[in-house]
Structure 1
């Protein structure tokens, strides 16, 4: 009996007994083992509705928030529109918006009709922002105070809304038009005299992010500044929502996953890997393979162009795989490191003057070592010393060239608004293959004609 079937039987038994404590325990075990979706999707619609009823909409929503949004949407679709609306109302607004965006548009509209008007409007506003932006990730559940509110009044107000907001680590100070003026921490409120106003104790130097900014920028700001929440504002500095520290883990995990998939020469998956069909995987990969295939055709053109050199010194062909492989590896190392630094440290083209010298020096050192290794390898094989010298010099030049290209290209693409992760290791390797051969045969033409 599989684990899913065993959990399914235990879940059904707990449902029949309406044992909420046992249901919660089973569901948390499934969530920790990443089997929650697999078991929930096997339940009948009536059983799902009964599960939501026994657990309560808020607790059931917490479990749905543990799933990927597309998986949670699949479960929600099996409830009635009214039942789905109740669950979404109980979820955090940002989580609810993520799930709602994965539903069929007609079904999503029907659920919004069933929701309370205020909460439906909140979700519609969140859905108006692209999902990869700060606006798409924010929650509108935050605490805002006017600057003339006294500290004791602010603390009393916080007690009343504590259960309704995402976090009360900070209270944001706004004017009558909801423009962000400052921020005050809970610690500052507690330690300040009750007669002082919030405007007097607030911090005016605010770290904030535009709603249209990339979600990765918001995550980077939260991490770099050591904040627990980050205010999201519009172009006129009106406070729209906040991104909390617990959102950062989700953002970074998704961004890192996408970068890794792109660095491997594949389009990022939009659904969990376990749900991907062979045809879906083929569609995400074949485009890159065809692009790399076309780019690799350049290598054949280069070999044909230098056909005479190969005929005059056939030993040159022995080292072609070694040279282009080494160049591709050197470029891939730089791209992988640089793309990650761009994501985490916010490096851009403005930092080229600072970045390039260190990479160039590292390339010189690596090229010298690889050139010496290539020369020794050729000598061991017993080829003509001129060929050995050609291999050594060419390796040095190719490594240096690969490092230069791999340093400059991601920075240029970022400046052009293109995700630098698309400069994947296979793409750099393919680019260096053709250009590396040009370097190799030109070095050979120069050195061999000297002897």
Structure 2
């Protein structure tokens, strides 16, 4: 890549457009994309120089901020040509990110057929499967034979997003089945299409969320899936490359939310600093206000702390153990929900598992905590003559706090899902803050119960 960059810089300085075009056209699409990443100031020049087909193939794999910068710098005719030649699904994705005035201007530049198509796709809800689909597919009738289907593919296949799968419809456009191209190629040309249909159709609904398409593709070995409306009319198809893109965006968004921040709608280094701060400050304020409740909890048990100062030594240990167990459980359940391994109907099974695992984890940490106090008491008098009570208090509190952390961390994502919120917002910092406050209450309540009449 360093050699490519050096040669490109020489060609750019020389001003030989023909040589630059030849050089760029000889590179792989992925290499051109890397060049744009390395030399973003020349991105528009690269797209302007490339032949239109290669320019489209490069442009469609770029991230949105880069696409937006390129559009602003390209000449008017090149922008129109580029937008016109973009696949409908990629064009819709671009339009959904651009500002309204820019979209209006670009749509007006499109030919009548593409303009109608773009407006139809933009009419679907944001983040719906309708925004992902493309109307470029091959559809045939069930009464055709293989020979006629092959002739149809030769005539219209070039404009299709994929010909790996052929869709069978009736006279009204109702989807009947989908057939893989290999099944068509391996039979006699006179075979009726109806004989190849197996009625094992899998389709997506145009108004369903895009996340559902991710799960359907994950569970089925398909390169494309048909999209239908309520009457089962075939409207378009969604291909696996679009699903991989959406899955990556969903994964990135969930990771950012789990980290305790709002989802970033731009690459980290491209986002203005103040906007980045705004994305982070909201959650930090909420978490800070939540942590202030720990001071309130400690004030409530102020007398107990004054009488048994030794209890204060274990406060960080107790709250961190509860927060860690809650963060573990929350992360596991959020991931399981994202993969459809856990649904709302599984809440009781999840609770039972977390009760058992929370008790086992708490017992493990509780025994370690008790043994630590036991061993230290052999060499030091820091815990005083009642070290056994201190050890029992810390050990019991760890069991209770870890159990509570596991339950809270596992149930909170399911509760948020039930309320219609994003489970990823039950992030590790949020769960940890919740368990910190309640963990102190559990700790000092157990201390009062065990040490009453002795140290308290």
**TM-score, normalised with respect to structure 1:** 0.92
Show the counterpart of 2:111: 116
Change (3 A) 1:73 1:401: same
Could you tell me which of 240, 249, 254 is aligned with 2:249?
254
The more displaced of 234-243 and 395-404 is 234-243
Give the C-alpha shift of residue 194 in structure 1.
Answer: 2.9
Show the counterpart of 1:36: 36
Show the counterpart of 1:242: 237
CA contact (8 A) 1:209 1:232 kept: yes
Could you tell me which of 123, 130, 134 is aligned with 1:128?
123
* Aligned residues between the structures: 444
Could you tell me which of 428, 432, 435 is aligned with 2:431?
428
CA contact (8 A) 1:94 1:139 kept: yes
Q: Please list every run of 5 or more consecutive structure 1 residues that lacks an aligned counterpart in the other structure.
A: none
Q: Please list every run of 5 or more consecutive structure 2 residues that lacks an aligned counterpart in the other structure.
A: 378-382
Give the C-alpha shift of residue 302 in structure 1.
Answer: 0.9
Structure 1 residues 152-191: aligned runs within 5 Å = 152-191=147-186
Could you tell me which of 336, 353, 378 is aligned with 1:341?
336
CA contact (8 A) 1:292 1:427 kept: yes
Secondary structure of the equivalent of 1:163?
helix
> Structure 2: how far apart are the matches of 1:210 and 1:227?
16
> Structure 2: how far apart are the matches of 1:3 and 1:298?
59
2:16 aligned with 1:16, yes or no? yes
Structure 1 residues 304-383: aligned runs within 5 Å = 304-382=299-377, 383=383
> Structure 2: how far apart are the matches of 1:29 and 1:11?
20
Once the two structures are superposed, residues 382-431 of structure 1 have per-residue CA deviations (whole angstroms, 9 ceiling, x without a partner) of 32221111000000111111111111111121122211000000000000
Give the C-alpha shift of residue 178 in structure 1.
Answer: 2.1
Show the counterpart of 1:195: 190
Indicate the RMSD between aligned Cα atoms, in angstroms.
Answer: 2.3
Structure 1 residues 410-429: aligned runs within 5 Å = 410-429=413-432
Could you tell me which of 393, 397, 409 is aligned with 2:396?
393
Change (3 A) 1:42 1:17: closer
Could you tell me which of 437, 444, 449 is aligned with 2:447?
444
Change (3 A) 1:4 1:440: farther
Secondary structure of the equivalent of 1:149?
coil
The more displaced of 382-391 and 121-130 is 121-130
Show the counterpart of 1:96: 91
CA contact (8 A) 1:348 1:414 kept: no
Give the C-alpha shift of residue 286 in structure 1.
Answer: 0.4
Change (3 A) 1:209 1:303: same
Structure 1 residues 206-245: aligned runs within 5 Å = 206-245=201-240
**TM-score, normalised with respect to structure 2:** 0.91
Show the counterpart of 1:293: 288
2:108 aligned with 1:106, yes or no? no
> Structure 1: how far apart are the matches of 2:135 and 2:445?
62
CA contact (8 A) 2:30 2:58 kept: no
> Structure 2: how far apart are the matches of 1:370 and 1:56?
65
CA contact (8 A) 2:33 2:62 kept: no
CA contact (8 A) 2:291 2:437 kept: yes
> Structure 2: how far apart are the matches of 1:14 and 1:137?
42
Give the C-alpha shift of residue 220 in structure 1.
Answer: 1.5
CA contact (8 A) 2:107 2:115 kept: yes
CA contact (8 A) 1:131 1:137 kept: no
Once the two structures are superposed, residues 172-228 of structure 1 have per-residue CA deviations (whole angstroms, 9 ceiling, x without a partner) of 122233222211111221233333332332232322222222222211211211111
Show the counterpart of 2:140: 145
